[in-house]
Chains A and B, each alone.
Chain A
Amino acid sequence: MSLFSFLGTLEIGFIFGLVAVGVYLTFRVLDFPDLTVDGSFTMGAALAAALIIAGINPYVATVCAVIGGAAAGLVTAWLNLRFNILHLLASILTMTALYTINLRIMGKPNLALITEPTVLSPFQSLGIPNMYLKVIFVAVVVIAIGLLLAWFLKTQYGLAMRATGANPRMAQANGIVINQKIFAGLALSNGLVALAGALFAQTNGFADSTMGIGTIVVGLAAVIVGESLFNSRSMLVIVVSCIVGSLLYRLAVSVALNADFIGFNTSDLNLITAVLVGLALILPHLRREWKARKAANGGEA
């Protein structure tokens, strides 16, 4: 792998670290499997790109992207909580609607950001070569957000959010308004994912209406890789493991795609990811079955 593609892999790994952290919030913390992220990733990219092209400051555009993503999360939470629509289905509805909304935001299926300013522009005068600058910028942003989030999960509010997912009845008996925590959690998660989309669009120079497909599976893959490497109760370790999981996942994919003798190409990515996540979900299950069988046999002997 060339240095250039290695740096590119790191950059995307960090960006999807945000997605992983967002997915961790919904799937693990809130126990709310949320597929909205496929749409909110694209929405973040679309909003950022469209606003920048319209002449808006890239930082303002990025904040708008985050707000857009958070709003999408709120819609999913509302469909689920207000109308009792199953969380998976509610999130699929939002995701589907977002596909159209994103096209409307962009006005066409693809927007290029070649000459426009981006969040990186203020740093370009530092003289760091662009390929390094992008990685450093993304790494700093993602790590800072990761630290903030780890701290948040240890605050009273964060603890309440974790209890909401882990044991809603207990949470309620301790005065926690669980609906409010679910709204907040979904907004936060999708806001992070939209931020990832906005960063992706600006570092890679484009937004595309289909770029969000499979975001959820990639995020899950990173969470699962991270969980299998670190087994800790510390929020800091867990959040960091999501980001590390994302980096490792990207590196693994990149190696697989670069190994010419296997003959994979970029469009095979979704299948590879699905198979990887599938394996990660299947293996612990098989191991449990295997252990149970062994225990049963041992009991008879």
Chain B
Amino acid sequence: MIRCEHLKVTFNAGQATEKRALRGVNLTIPQGEFVTVIGSNGAGKSTLLNTIAGDIRSSSGRLHFDDRDVTSLSAAARTRDVARVFQDPLAGTCGDMTIEENMALAYGRGQKGGLRLALNEGLRKLFREQLSRLNLGLEDRLDAKMGLLSGGQRQSVSLLMSALQPSKILLLDEHTAALDPKTAALVMDITDQIVAEKKLTVLMVTHSMRQALDHGTRTIMMHEGQVAFDLQGDERSNYGVKDLLNLFAQIRPDGEELDDDKLLLGT
């Protein structure tokens, strides 16, 4: 379970460029819920995920995982509970290292990195098994440099890596946005599989209304650093992309049009 209590994040506080990216987010996500997060650019979606991961410290408010207050825990310490996949396929892996080395790193998440060899045959077997799920032939290229893979391949491997160690929370920040539609569909497919297998609590930011409604069990819309709408249950199942767009229009009373094609058509 994730519980945000009045989370606030302010960048460059007290300077001319001050930016209140989160303005008091209250959100409780029960164990095993898959929440999709939408909202216009700059709404604070990434900031919310980064704050939960610990990359960004909140200026005020509290954050709990289950009953534990993790507000002051470092990002590294939170990785026992949190796994993540970034939007940029290059961000989640090391291009200079091999596929197996990258996976070994992820396998070590939440463990104390000691002076044991990071790779062994048992692990390679596990990695091969996992990679074969992707049907990309990567299981035969364990010692290929990560940098040689395409963006889609790298993102798929990142996703597998996030699930190598048990964790409770998975944070996905537009993790299919940089991919072509076919690869994006594959990655979403594996996402759903992993989430179901591991019964994870998920926050997935997406630019696609379709994706937001088709996946997960709950959808929130962020606006100006706050949760503007929270859709779940029957109400959500009756929602279509059109209805979501209407919601967007409502929270923008100035009538400003959404001109982001991706938002409208999204894959």
B25 within 8 A of A: no
B184 within 8 A of A: no
**Smallest CB separation, B12 vs chain A (Å):** 16
What residues of chain B lie closer than 8 Å to A160, measured between beta carbons? 105, 108, 113
- B94 in contact with A154 (CB, 8 Å): no
Given contacts A155-B114, A157-B114, contact A175 B79 (CB under 8 A): yes
- A159 in contact with B101 (CB, 8 Å): yes
- B91 in contact with A167 (CB, 8 Å): yes
A84 within 8 A of B: no
Cβ 8 A contact of B94, one of A151, A158, A170, A177: A170
B97 within 8 A of A: yes
B267 within 8 A of A: no
Q: Of A159, A177, A233, which is in contact with the most chain B CB atoms at under 10 Å from its CB?
A: A159
- Closest chain A residue to B161, Cβ basis: A174
- B97 in contact with A156 (CB, 8 Å): no
Interface of A is mostly: helix
Compute how far the CA of A167 lies from the CA of B95 in the bound complex, rounded to whole angstroms.
9
- A170 in contact with B91 (CB, 8 Å): yes
Given contacts A172-B76, A174-B109, contact A156 B115 (CB under 8 A): yes
Question: What are the interface flags for B58-90 relative to A under an 8 Å C-beta threshold, 1 for contact and 0 otherwise?
Answer: 000000000000000011110110011010000
- B115 in contact with A174 (CB, 8 Å): no
A111 within 8 A of B: no
Given contacts A155-B116, A155-B117, contact A175 B110 (CB under 8 A): yes
What residues of chain A lie closer than 8 Å to B111, measured between beta carbons? 156, 175
Given contacts A174-B108, A233-B143, contact A159 B118 (CB under 8 A): yes
B93 within 8 A of A: yes
What residues of chain B lie closer than 8 Å to A174, measured between beta carbons? 79, 105-106, 108-109, 161
B55 within 8 A of A: yes
A87 within 8 A of B: no
- A166 in contact with B55 (CB, 8 Å): no
Identify which of residues 127-167 in chain A touch chain B, using a CB-to-CB cut-off of 8 Å: 151-152, 154-160, 162-163, 166-167
Compute how far the CA of A203 lies from the CA of B198 in the bound complex, rounded to whole angstroms.
61
**Smallest CB separation, A241 vs chain B (Å):** 16
Cβ 8 A contact of B105, one of A152, A154, A163, A233: A163
Identify which of residues 154-210 in chain A touch chain B, using a CB-to-CB cut-off of 8 Å: 154-160, 162-163, 166-167, 169-178
B92 within 8 A of A: yes
**Smallest CB separation, B119 vs chain A (Å):** 7
Compute how far the CA of A158 lies from the CA of B119 in the bound complex, rounded to whole angstroms.
12
**Smallest CB separation, A177 vs chain B (Å):** 5
Given contacts A162-B97, A175-B109, contact A170 B76 (CB under 8 A): no
**Smallest CB separation, B245 vs chain A (Å):** 33
- A163 in contact with B94 (CB, 8 Å): yes
Given contacts A154-B118, A174-B109, contact A159 B104 (CB under 8 A): yes
Cβ 8 A contact of A166, one of B75, B96, B143: B96
- B108 in contact with A162 (CB, 8 Å): no
What residues of chain B lie closer than 8 Å to A163, measured between beta carbons? 94, 97, 105
B232 within 8 A of A: no
Compute how far the CA of A163 lies from the CA of B86 in the bound complex, rounded to whole angstroms.
16
What residues of chain B lie closer than 8 Å to A157, measured between beta carbons? 113-115
What residues of chain A lie closer than 8 Å to B172, measured between beta carbons? none
B98 within 8 A of A: yes
- B108 in contact with A154 (CB, 8 Å): no
What residues of chain A lie closer than 8 Å to B75, measured between beta carbons? 172-173
Compute how far the CA of A176 lies from the CA of B105 in the bound complex, rounded to whole angstroms.
9
Question: What are the interface flags for B36-57 relative to A under an 8 Å C-beta threshold, 1 for contact and 0 otherwise?
Answer: 0000000000000000010100
A-B contact pairs, 9 of them (CB 8 A): A154-B118, A162-B94, A167-B94, A169-B55, A170-B92, A171-B105, A173-B75, A175-B77, A176-B105
Chain B residues within CB distance 8 Å of chain A: 53, 55, 74-77, 79-80, 83-84, 86, 91-98, 101, 104-106, 108-111, 113-119, 143, 145, 161
Chain A residues within CB distance 8 Å of chain B: 151-152, 154-160, 162-163, 166-167, 169-178, 233
Q: A155-B115, A172-B76 are in contact. List 6 more A-B contacts (CB 8 A).
A: A163-B94, A167-B94, A170-B93, A170-B105, A175-B108, A176-B113
